[in-house]
Amino acid sequence: MTFDYDLFVIGGGSGGVRAARVAAATGAKVALAEEFRMGGTCVIRGCVPKKLMVFASGYSEMFDDARAYGWDLQEGDFNWLRFRDKLHAELSRLEGIYRKLLDGSDVAIFDARATVKDPHTVALSNGKDVTAKHILVATGGRPVLPEIPGAELGITSNEIFLLDEMPKNILIVGGGYIASEFACILKGLGVKVTQFYRGAQILRGFDDEARGLVAEGMRAKGVDLQLGTNVVDMRAATDGDHKGIWVKDSNGQEAVYDQVMFATGRAPNTGDMGLQAAGVEVGRQGEVVVDEYSQTAVPSIYAIGDVTNRVQLTPVAIREGMAFVETVFKGNPTPVDHALIPSAIFTQPEMGTVGLSEEDARAQEPVEIYSTAFKPMNHAFAGRDDRVLMKLVVSVATRKVLGCHIVADHAGEMIQLAGIAVKMGATKEDFDRTVAVHPTMAEELVTMKEPVRTA
């Protein structure tokens, strides 16, 4: 059978674009469809705009620090619209780069919604059907609103970048990294921030000691973090010309906020795509079910990225796309490696982590914990009380470093490098043999000689 394309990619996010380009480089005839903007969640409404907002939000504290370091300067007001317009100009520039990369790789682009008609046919919203030997679903995910009365009055992380004005006060609902990051961002931009989380501590699944220090630091910076608390009812509220949102919480308290942002979960984008009708298995949460090679129950259809609900990180989607091309177009079956993925949470304080938490490690085997928390030189000089954490989780049997957890300025930069060592199977003695870089915070990772506890 002759097909229009060797590969048709549905979704123009980081994973889909990378897979399309690399497959085309093998000589395959490739097409890609994107219904919104090229770049996907990461570039358009995720990692990139969020990180730029992180940068912007940090200046309020930098002004105070600068004066402590002898600089004579006056603090100004944050101009949201000026920042927002420049932000969207940057996102448009990046989208253009993605399109240029695809064009340069001879990938055909369809600016249309694509659905699966059968194992080898894609139906486009422009009325055209195209056929492909292989179909790759890379449609990502989306934030979802909880089933709470009045939840439709709130916004999600998608809309936060589109606001016409900064709210004076906001309620952020959720305890994951998205909720916690935006709580810190908006507080840094001068917004009064309240955060509700129904659980006992934010950042569930991360190391307890590390997430505890992050929560402590957020509160110290002024975030009103209320644990064991959820929204039970919301209504529109008007006081003269001022419009807000009335909220009742699970503790019986009531308050009015300018905005309510939900960061309470995400769902894979599989709705009305024809996947199940084509024979693709879709899980209970809407995820495309795949094997270790990202192949679905239909041999010609694969899926990568957030739509599979495996690990929802942009670099992981890219790696999955690369493994897909190795497997399908280079004849080199390559399973996706999801072990020991470094990650960063851009809260303030920032957190970087790779490997097992102390809790997960001790449930697996006997471990030693090397940990130190201290006030770093730059904060101490500026008169701040911020503390940082350096922590290693070490196997008693093999001496391998099973986990590394950092809470500090630039923790994301540090964990990327520490992740290399952990991925290579470095032992505690390998860390000990490494000469410290002084004076730095990270030198503590190689100078901790005695465990603080065993578990």
Q: Which of the four pLDDT bands, split at 50, 70 and 90, describes residue 56?
A: very high
Superfamily of domain 151-263: FAD/NAD(P)-binding domain (3.50.50.60)
Q: Give all strands of the β-sheet with 259-262 in edge-to-edge order.
A: 224-227, 192-197, 169-173, 259-262
Res 340: pLDDT? 96
| Bridging pattern class, strands 453-454 and 367-374 | antiparallel
Handedness of CA 198, 199, 204, 209 (dihedral sign): positive
- The average pLDDT across 185-211 equals 97
Indicate whether 412 pLDDT > 90: yes
The mean pLDDT of 233-240, rounded to a whole number, is 87
* H-run or E-run covering 394: strand 388-395
Question: Over the stretch 116-143, which tens digit does the pLDDT of each residue have?
Answer: 999 999 999 999 999 999 999 999 999 9
CATH 3.30.390.30 positions along the chain are: 343-454
Please identify, in words, the CATH class of the domain defined by 5-141+267-328: alpha beta
When pLDDT is averaged across residues 237-250 and rounded to a whole number, the result is 87
Give the amino acid at 291.
Answer: D
Q: Give residue 235's pLDDT band: very low, low, confident or very high (50, 70, 90).
A: very high
Other Cβ atoms less than 10 A from the Cβ of 27: the count is: 10
The percent of residues above 70 in pLDDT, for the chain, comes to 100
- The residue with tokens 């008693």 is 396
Q: Tell the residue number behind the tokens 């300025």, with chain if given.
A: 409
What are 437's two structure tokens? 């870089």
Pairing of strands 121-124, 129-137: antiparallel
Work out the average pLDDT over 42-60.
94
Whether residue 282 is predicted with pLDDT greater than 90 in this model: the reply is: yes
Q: What architecture is the 343-454 domain classified under in CATH?
A: 2-Layer Sandwich (3.30)
Is the predicted pLDDT of residue 216 greater than 90, yes or no? yes
Residue spans in the chain of domains classed CATH 3.50.50.60: 5-141+267-328, 151-263
Residue 176 above 90 pLDDT? yes
Mean pLDDT over 250-262 rounds to: 96
pLDDT at 175: 97
Q: Could you give the 3-state DSSP secondary structure of residue 326?
A: helix
Place of tokens 């480089």: 25
Query: 45 near 182, Cβ under 8 Å?
Result: no
**Percent of the chain clearing pLDDT 90 (strictly above):** 96
Residue 243 has pLDDT above 90, yes or no: no
For tokens 């644990």, name the residue: 227
Nearest to 445 by CA among 410, 404, 395: 404
Residue 396 has pLDDT above 90, yes or no: yes
**Which H or E run contains 454?**
strand 453-454
pLDDT value at 241 more than 90? no
Mean pLDDT, residues 350-366 taken together: 98
And the tokens for 16? 């889909």
- The answer to whether residue 406 scores a pLDDT higher than 90 is yes
pLDDT for position 76:
80
Q: Quick one: pLDDT at residue 73?
A: 85
Catalytic entry in 134, 338, 410, 438: 438
pLDDT of residue 242: 75
352: its two tokens: 């970087």
Q: What is the model's pLDDT at position 422?
A: 98
State the pLDDT at residue 455: 83
Instruction: Report how far apart, in Å, the C-alpha atoms of 452 and of each of 342, 352, 367, 394, 411 are.
Output: 24, 20, 11, 12, 22
Tokens found for residue 195: 């955060």
- Report, as an integer, the average pLDDT of 343-349: 96
Nearest to 21 by CA among 324, 333, 332: 324
89-118 average pLDDT score: 96
Question: What is residue 74's predicted lDDT score, i.e. its pLDDT?
Answer: 80
Residue 206 pLDDT? 97
Quick one: pLDDT at residue 238? 81
Quick one: average pLDDT of 31-52? Answer: 94
| pLDDT tens digit sequence for 298-332 | 999 999 999 999 999 999 999 999 999 999 999 99
- Concatenate the DSSP letters of all residues of 45-103 into one string: HSHHHHHHHHHHHTHHHHHHHHHHTT---------HHHHHHHHHHHHHHHHHHHHHHHH
CB 300 within 8 A of CB 120: yes
Q: In sequence order, which ranges of 143-256 are alpha helices (DSSP H)?
A: 177-188, 208-220
* 438 catalytically annotated: yes
